[in-house]
Amino acid sequence: MRPRFAFLMAALLATSPGLAQSNDCLSEAEARSVVAYALPAAIEATAARCRPLLPAAAWLSRNGAGMAQRYRRDGGGSAEAALPVLERLSGQTMPDFLDPTTLSTMVEGLITDRVRDAVATRDCPTISRIAEQISPLPLGNVASLLVALVQLDRRATSRTGIRICSAPEAGAR
């Protein structure tokens, strides 16, 4: 059984069409950094996609925006930190003249589009329950959890075209 939330991670990492063509891999630290940056926008996009399909009392409908705001406030990262990883994977360079606000708007727009397309409406109730369960966790823990879920889901590489390079665990077989 594949982790239900892994598709969201895949959408977070696949923020531009060029990423799917990359043979490169992300270190776990790079993947966590990109996820930490992208997660607030991904939560907002998922909540917006699911809101019409969920009961008003569903956790995501009531609390998704607050969770995204908290993660932004608590260190959701910056476009500047995520940009080098995204450029390396996409093989494209963003123009130097873009100011940080414009860059953030562009990157968050890409994230929003990808997540909106990746979320299957039939999964909205499950996503809402998962979001409720992870909501007390700090952003860093959630980013690490999502990276680990993608690493467990070997098929995520074929879905996203992105590999997360991982160092072998001591004593792992």
Can you give the pLDDT at residue 133? 96
Q: Which tokens go with 9?
A: 């991670």
Can you give the pLDDT at residue 154? 66
Can you give the pLDDT at residue 122? 94
Residues 6+ apart with CB under 8 A from 142: 35, 39, 71, 134
What phi-psi label fits residue 94: left (phi over 0), alpha (psi between -120 and 50 degrees) or beta?
beta
Can you give the pLDDT at residue 67? 96
Can you give the pLDDT at residue 149? 84
Q: How far apart are CA 131 and CA 5, in angstroms?
A: 9
Intervals of the chain under pLDDT 70: 1-24, 76-81, 86, 89-92, 154-162, 166-173
Can you give the pLDDT at residue 15? 42
Can you give the pLDDT at residue 132? 96
Specify the pTM.
0.76
Can you give the pLDDT at residue 18? 41
Report pLDDT digits (tens) over 126-165. 999 999 999 999 999 999 998 888 888 766 554 556 678 8
Using CA atoms, how far residue 138 sits from 15, 39, 65, 87, 117, in Å, is: 23, 12, 16, 27, 26
For 19-73, give the DSSP string.
GGG---EEEHHHHHHHHHHHHHHHHHHHHHHHGGGS-TTSHHHHHHHHHHHHHHH
Q: How far apart are CA 54 and CA 17, in angstroms?
A: 30
Can you give the pLDDT at residue 10? 46
Can you give the pLDDT at residue 162? 66
Can you give the pLDDT at residue 126? 96
